[in-house]
Amino acid sequence: MKVKKTFPKILWLIFSSSIFFILLYFALLYYTKKAEKQVYNSTLEQFDNEIHKLLQVNSKPILVAINNDTNWDEFVNFTKTKDTLWYNQTINNELDIYEADYLGAYDANKNFIIRTPTNSIKTVDFIPKKEMELLDTMGINKFYMKIPEGLVEVTGATIHASDDPLKNKTPVAGYFFVVRLMDATFIKNLEELTSSKILLIDNDVTPPHKKHKIISLYTLKDNNNQFIGKLVFERNFQVYFENAINLLYLIIAAFIINLIVNLIYTRKLVYYPLDLVRRALESGNRKAIKELKKTSGEFSYIGNLFEENSNQKLELIKAKIKAEEGDRLKSSFLANLSHEIRTPMNAINGFTELILNTKISETEKMEYLNVIEKSGKNLVGIIDDLIEMSKIDSNQLTPNLTAINLDGLVNELYETVKVTIQNKDIDFKLIKSKSQAKFNIVTDDIKLKQVIINLLTNAIKFTEQGSVSFGFEIDEDQQLIHFTVKDTGLGIDEENHKNIFDRFKRVDSDISIKVGGLGLGLAISKAYIDLLGGSITLESTVGEGSTFYFSIPLQYSVAEHITVKSINNVDVIKSASETILIAEDDNINFLLFQKMMQHKNFKIIRAINGQEAVDICLNTPNIDLVLMDIKMPIMTGFEALEQIRPIRPNLPIIAQTAYSSSDDKIKIEEAGFNGYITKPLNRDTLFELINKYLYKENQNEI
């Protein structure tokens, strides 16, 4: 079958449309530039005329006043009598009329008679004789000159009798000059008059053109008509766009027409066949396949392929469902992994570093090894559980039942958790069971431990002060083991009870930041309890606390009790030299910092949230360095840094974070931290940063 090529037609349509609009664009650009140039030249010419007229208006009051005064008989007599009393009583009073900085009079022999002094111009006799000779023929003249006080505008006129208004019949009786200093005040008044920005320059170079600005130049010349300076008037230039906008409307209209044509053409050759392909892919519609075969070009060939391969549709659907299920399971696995794995890894790496690189007693070594052993087992269990969580979604999870000593398991969990909260104001209690298990019980100990740890962790983190207790009771009648985890903490609003066990959901509050992860703890716990054949319930009141109850089946296995080793309590280090503030809400992480630094001569202060870190930094001036956790309740590390920096700009603040992506590192650096360290903590990196910012590079490790 000969295939008709439709794709080149579509390409040609797109190409022709593009050429059309490109040509329109350049036409618009050319027209706009041309119109802009015309408007600019016209505006510039208008501005230049306006400036020169305004300058004439500015000089006219002086010309009128000086013309009146110099055609005054009493002024003629003054040039002969040189009566300074008359001058001071008459001419000096007209200084404000002239708005001048200097008034000076000369006699017919061009000799200086008197001046009107001001604070601006103190030079006495500076009018050139040649200017007076020029006035003999011109009668009145304005020019510019430089004096010690700066550039001045000089207006001069010959003194004549009142019966000689044209100043060309009688001999010259004298000369009178009005001078204005072109200082900042003069320029400012001129700017207000001309509505322009003015620049006074002393060279004949034309200033460069500025975008959206127009300028007018006014040359200043002396009495010999020589260049002495230049006034540059500058004003904003507004471009006239109406014609360009009208042309744009035409382009938009042309584009719409072209789009309609393209849509009609595309619908016939592309959209309708593609819709048939969609219907065939979604449901295997035979009518759609039949119509697709009747189309032209490649789509007709595709219709033949659908008809020939219709038997493979079910396999494709199954493969699609399987791939989607795999993606969902993988996403769930990665989310759970991020939520659960960091805390035990931090303990393992941190306490291993302490054992390898610090001098510790055998008792401490055994204590650390116990923590590492339990964290390692917990980590393996968590990884198994995360894999099994994915299996739960696909109904592939089965419990790993073993015989355990229930009393020993509970005591072990109590001792382990007690170590992590010794610095917190919580009364942590183990409720003694009224009825003991007769023998070891059969259950999945990894899952049971994880359920209890998850519930205790939530209880402790949501309890700032008060009590946390847990325990169990054996119910021989119903063949159940009832567990209870109770706290006097934040409590949970009743409307959130129905969602508390849903994955990826948690109660939103400042303190909920402490929970960490993605809110999977209670969801995982419920999944494990369901798997073990049990049930879990919740009782909680906001402000009073929460109690979780869960039960699992009681099944005995005759075996010896398992002994459990306890974990020693960890003492807070007390050393005094450089003071380091550790802002860390997690007790295990803070304990690791303490153990890493216990052989260093540091004084350690702890803040359990961002607000407390800010308060300590602002109220304790002897703090030398801060290790700031990024994710904390009440106020994050970023928010705390913003409040500390303006008050303590030189205080070294190092971020400590479980985030390790490149984007997170960039965010930390841009926020203004001096440095950062990621979890799990590395001892060498920690001390390198501390030494660097405490200027103790040569400090030897103990």
Dump pLDDT digits (tens) for 602-643.
899 999 999 999 999 999 889 999 999 998 889 999 999 999
How many Cα atoms are found within 13 Å in the side-chain-facing hemisphere of 226? 4
Burial class of residue 401 (count of CB atoms within 10 Å of its CB; 0-12, 13-18, 19+): middle
Q: Dihedral sign for Cα 352, 356, 357, 359, please.
A: positive
With respect to residue 209, please indicate whether it lies within any of the assigned structural domains: no
Q: From CA 609, how far away is CA 631, in angstroms rounded?
A: 9
Asked, for residue 213, whether it belongs to a domain, the answer is no
Residue 217 in tokens: 């130049």
Does 12 reside within a domain? no
Q: Are residues 409 and 551 in the same domain?
A: yes
φ and ψ of 292, to 5 deg: -65, -35
Backbone angles phi, psi at 519, to 5 degrees: 75, 35
- How far lies 683's CA from each of 237, 349, 499, 602, 673, in Å? 65, 9, 41, 15, 20
Tell me, yes or no, whether 177 lies in a domain.
Answer: yes
Which residues, 6 or more positions from 562, have their beta carbon under 8 angstroms from its beta carbon?
A: 404, 405, 408, 409, 440
Domain-terminating residue out of 557, 588, 611 = 557
Domain assignment of residue 487, given as a range: 336-557
Burial string for 639-655 (b: 16+ CB within 10 Å, else e) reads bbbebbbeeeeebbbbb
Strands 653-657 and 675-678: parallel
16, 13, 21: which is closest to 268 by C-alpha? 13
Q: Which two tokens stand for residue 146?
A: 């430089």
Q: What pLDDT score was predicted for residue 679?
A: 78
Considering the domain architecture, whether residues 377 and 514 belong to the same structural domain is answered as yes
Q: Which two tokens stand for residue 126?
A: 């500076």
Angstrom distance (rounded) from CA 700 to CA 190? 74
Measured in residues, the chain has a length of 702
The reply to whether 546 and 588 lie within a common domain is no
Question: Is 428 found in the same domain as 530?
Answer: yes
Residues 6+ apart with CB under 8 A from 563: 408
Total domains present in the chain: 3
Q: Specify whether the CB–CB gap between 532 and 444 falls below 8 A.
A: yes
Name the percent of the chain in helix, strand, coil, to the closest 5: 50, 20, 30
Do 596 and 681 have their domain in common? Answer: yes
For residue 171, whether the previous peptide bond is cis, meaning omega lies within 30 degrees of 0, is no
Q: Specify whether 686 is located in the same domain as 540.
A: no
Which residues are bridge partners to 402 per DSSP?
Answer: 443
Mean pLDDT by 10 residues, the chain (702 residues): 47 64 70 74 82 83 85 88 87 81 90 87 89 87 90 90 64 90 88 87 79 84 87 78 62 70 62 62 66 67 63 67 61 54 75 84 84 72 58 67 86 83 82 81 86 87 86 89 90 79 59 49 82 89 89 78 36 58 90 85 91 92 92 91 92 84 75 87 86 63 36
Domain of residue 424, CATH code: 3.30.565.10
Last residue of a domain, one of 528, 557, 586: 557
113 assigned to some structural domain: yes
Residue 341 located in a structural domain: yes
CATH number at residue 658: 3.40.50.2300
Angle of helix 521-531 relative to helix 362-393, nearest 10 degrees, comes to 70
E strands along 568-652, which residues?
Answer: 578-583, 602-607, 623-629
Residues 472 and 588 in one domain: no
One domain for residues 384 and 505: yes
Q: CA 459 to CA 461: how far, in whole Å?
A: 6
Note whether 345 and 443 are same-domain residues. yes
Q: Is residue 52 part of a domain?
A: no
The reported pTM is 0.36
Secondary structure string (H, E, C) spanning 131-176: HHHHHHHHCEEEEEEEECCEEEEEEEEEECCCCCCCCCCCCCCEEE
Helix axes 272-283, 298-308, angle to 10 degrees: 10
The residue from 138, 157, 182 where one domain ends is: 182
| Largest separation between any pair of C-alpha atoms in the chain | 146
pLDDT score recorded for residue 271: 54
State the Cα–Cα distance between residues 55 and 363, nearest whole angstrom. Answer: 98
Q: Does some domain include residue 667?
A: yes
Question: 551 and 438 share a domain?
Answer: yes
Do 361 and 457 reside in the same domain of the chain? yes
The two three-digit tokens of residue 225, written as one number = 């008509």
User: Looking at residue 636, what is its pLDDT?
Assistant: 92
229: β partners: 220
Q: Looking at the structure, do residues 539 and 604 belong to the same domain, yes or no?
A: no
Taking CA atoms, 195 is separated from 191, 219, 236, 565, 610, in Å, by: 5, 19, 10, 91, 56
